[in-house]
Amino acid sequence: MNDKLPVSILIPTKNEVGNIAACIESARFADEIVVVDSGSTDGTQITAEKLGAQVIDFRWDGHFPKKKNWALANYTWRNEWVFILDADERITPKLANELTQRLSTAREDGFYVNRRFWFLDGWLRHCGYYPSWNLRLLKHRLGRYEQLSGADDTQSGDNEVHEHIELQGQVGWLKGELDHYAFPSINVWVEKHNRYSNWEAHLLANRVGAAAITNSDLTPRLLRRRQLKRLAQYLPFRPMLRFLYHYVWRAGFLDGYRGFVFCRLMGIYEFLSVAKARELKSHLRDKSA
């Protein structure tokens, strides 16, 4: 008798051998676990297969779709519901229990999940990173990650970075949380945000994303954030303003030392995005000259 929950878990990976085992273990309640891997060389695929996951190879050609959209559209899912779980995330027991109780009677077509971020040996409770709602559970035929025109080749990798899911249906919110070990060290933070700033810079340099501000498939809260972010592009001293936003306005100072370091790094991230965008604009002008 199969007592597993009829939900499929989608885990995108590349060289995640240090995370994949704990990630899969947190999803043991699910009927299907699928790891979509981009040519890992550290044994991620072998570890995942030993733990009973289905491993799918993904090779990106530099254009849309990227990894998660490709998997949602092309893999033959065993279940209607798909939970998208990054390798450095863990489904908490409370969230697993809530899924078990709600899915059988759910009238919604997708659910937002709150994440808490681990940084410098503790959870961030402020800084604008908590709560952090993300649409992760959906009926897979009804949702895809947004594809911003002109943003396919942003040097940010083959996985969706900051794109959000556009869902054709009703959404709900779950009480259980995801534990996100995204930033176990400053070194990891810097490596990831170097790639993320490539994404931001390409959008800035190519003026991508205007259509996303009026996209009715995204929540009003997210659309407001997009609009404010676009307006902020024209403000001076953006790196300092970014630090003050996270540290003062979003009460990062309440997270103590880890909050101060995190908010300072966010200012550096803003600086990288702005500087890279200016560099790209210069290259674009040179090509058109």
Kindly state the average pLDDT of the residues 222-233.
60
Q: What percent of the chain has pLDDT over 70?
A: 85
**Quick one: 126 and 14 in the same domain?**
yes
Q: Is the pLDDT of residue 231 over 70?
A: no
Domain span at 211: 189-288
**Quick one: 172 and 199 in the same domain?**
no
Reduce the secondary structure of the chain to three states and give it as a string: CCCCEEEEEEEEECCCCCCHHHHHHHCCCEEEEEEEECCCCCCHHHHHHHCCCEEEECCCCCCCCCHHHHHHHHCCCCCCEEEECCCCEEECHHHHHHHHHHHHHCCCCEEEEEEEEEECCCECCCCCCCCCEEEEEEEHHHEEECCCCCCCCCCCCCCCCCCCEEECCCEEEEEEEEEEEEECCHHHHHHHHHHHHHHHHHHHHCCCCHHHHCCCCCCHHHHHHHHHHHHHCCCCCHHHHHHHHHHHHCCHHHHHHHHHHHHHHHHHHHHHHHHHHHHHHHHHHHHHC
CATH of the domain at 73: 3.90.550.10
Tell me the pTM. 0.88
Q: Is the pLDDT of residue 68 over 90?
A: yes
Output 56 or 64, whichever has higher pLDDT.
Answer: 56
Kindly report, residue by residue over 83-139, the tens digit of the pLDDT. 999 999 999 999 999 999 999 899 999 999 999 999 999 999 999 999 999 999 999
**Quick one: 115 and 241 in the same domain?**
no
Q: Is the pLDDT of residue 70 over 60?
A: yes
